[in-house]
Structure 1
């Protein structure tokens, strides 16, 4: 039998300032079609910055 495709996928969040990939998050593709953008703590910059979803 064929496998079903999952509605959830794991995405990586990248810091806008230093471009480091700090966080990973699980996202439901059917409910959230736009890219995730969160304000998270960056250890390299030692402050809260915007982190955007990348593939």
Structure 2
């Protein structure tokens, strides 16, 4: 398989802007880590409510 350098560079160039994504990453370090991947900003419900949904 031959990888085009132009494609790789174009993909890499699109990586840095992800820091400008609508989801703020920097304000979260103060909050507990488990809540970020589990719920995220879309589902800010506490783990207790999430457990009820899972059960």
Query: If the TM-score is normalised by the length of the shorter chain, which range does it land in?
Result: under 0.3
Query: Which structure would you say has the larger Rg?
Result: 2
Whose RCO is larger (CA < 8 A, sep 6+)?
1
- More helix by percentage: 2
| TM-score (ref. length: structure 1) | 0.22
TM-score by length of 2: 0.22
Task: Compare the two structures and name the one with the higher strand fraction.
Answer: 1
